[in-house]
Each structure stands twice: as structure tokens, then as C-alpha cells.
A and B are shown apart, each in its own frame.
Chain A
Amino acid sequence: MAKYETSLKLDIRQDGPVAVVHLAGSAGMNEAESMRIELEGLASSKVPMIILDLSDLGFICSLGLGAIISGHLRCRHHKGQIRLVNPQPAVRKLLETTRLTKLFPIYATVEQATLQCD
């Protein structure tokens, strides 16, 4: 059985109109609030595109999903957008179960998500 991480690491790199946020670990009930604050703060800086690299995120709960949605709502104030990259199968299934794939486009790589930035 996978040993789940119980911490979340956010690494934010901004390059022009794109901010790439690499999420690693677990976005569970104890981590979701700090994640929400980080994403809302980034969205408030009016960066047009936030790309969440989920490739190293092993777990997310409803509060973590809520943090992404809060960032998305803040982005919309300035017509910005959040895109998701390469979620692990269990996280992808959760995004599909909640139908959040309808809200957030999912890309295979950060490069693909960035290239299709219009």
C-alpha cells in the first residue's frame, strides 16, 4: 500500500503571463487551507494563467478541490484561468467523479498547457 505523504509542498515559478505551481504530497484536510491562501494570493496578483502541475500530488480531498476552485474564482475577476497538468490516476479519477474536469482543462505536460495559452 502506498504510504501517503501528510504534507504539501508548493513550488511557484512565474514566467511572464504564466505561473506554474508544482504541488507535491497531500492536499488533505490539514493542508487545504494553506493551499487556498497560496492560490488565492497568486490569483490576486492577476497573473493571466496558473498551471497546477499535479504530477507529484498523491492525494486530494474535497477541501483541496475547494482550494483550486477558490483560486479559479479569484482568477475570473481578471479573466485569468487555471489549468491542470498530469494528475496521478487516483487524483484524475477524483476530478472526473466530481466533474471538475468540466471546469478545468487537463493537459499531459506543463509545456502543452503553456503552449496553448492564448
Chain B
Amino acid sequence: MSTLESTAVIFSDLKAAREVEEKVLCEVAACGYSEASCFAIKLAIEESLNNAIRHGNGYDSNKRVRVGCQIDPQRVCIIVADEGDGFDPASVPDPTANENLEKPHGRGIMLMQAYMDEVHFNKKGNEVRLIKRNN
């Protein structure tokens, strides 16, 4: 099976994000990834899109989110980029620390890192590259 490459550009809207997510997950499923991997990829896409729309673009309907994918039976690579000012991922407090457990927010990056094989942010912090291998 050859590699599927696609790019989608959406406005800062969670409904549009869900449509992109569903398309990606269909392709991932067709490549024979396990249920656990599919759960991980779904989680990482949701966290990255939510971060991009909510925190990156601040729900600004004029700002867009770009989602790039490379999917094949060996590896899934997803890139999510927003038009915000970016941030320093290292500055996000550890949500698993006792003092942060009751905070309703701040778990997205940790979950991406826990469930994907690789998570890379660009220097500005407005683009994340997520990789999951089909083990």
C-alpha cells in the first residue's frame, strides 16, 4: 500500500476539525492499525486541533488551521499548524503533579506525548508534528 499524503486547511471551528479528524481516522483504520493505536491517534488529533483552534487561534474565525498527514501501514505522521503567536511547550506545568490534578485544563500536550511515539513542536510553538508507528 502506498503512502497517502493530504493537507487540509480549515477555519477555527471544532466542527470542521471533527470532519478532518474523521477522514484521517478512516485512512488510519484502512492501514490496519490496532484499536489502541487508533485511540491514541484520535486522542492526539483532538488534542492538537483543540490546542490550535482554542489556544493558538483563539477561536478567531479568520484564522486557519492547517492539517497535513502522511499515512501508510508503517507510520502515521500528522502536522497541525495554527496562525497564533505560538508558545513554549516546556513552560506548561506537569498536569500529573499533585498540585495540578484538580486543574480542569493543561493535559493536552502531556497526552499527545504519552500516546504518540514522537511529538515535535516548531521553534515558534504554533506547529506540532505527531508520529505513531504501527508496531
Given A63-B50, A94-B111, verify A30-B18 contact (CB < 8 Å): yes
Number of interface residues, chain B, beta carbon within 8 A: 34
The SS class assigned to the B binding surface is helix
Residues of B within 8 A of A62 (CB): 47, 50, 105, 107-108, 111
A115 CB within 8 Å of chain B: no
B80-135 at interface with A (beta carbon < 8 Å): 95-96, 98, 101-105, 107-108, 110-111, 114-115
Inter-chain contact count A-B, CB under 8 Å? 74
Q: In angstroms, how far is the closest chain B Cβ from the Cβ of A41? A: 16
27 A-B pairs with C-beta separation under 8 A: A1-B28, A1-B29, A1-B35, A4-B25, A4-B38, A4-B42, A28-B42, A29-B18, A29-B50, A30-B15, A30-B18, A61-B43, A61-B111, A62-B47, A62-B108, A63-B50, A65-B104, A65-B107, A69-B103, A69-B104, A70-B104, A90-B35, A94-B43, A98-B95, A98-B111, A99-B101, A103-B102
Q: Top 5 nearest A-B pairs by Cβ distance?
A: A66-B104, A62-B107, A1-B29, A99-B96, A61-B46
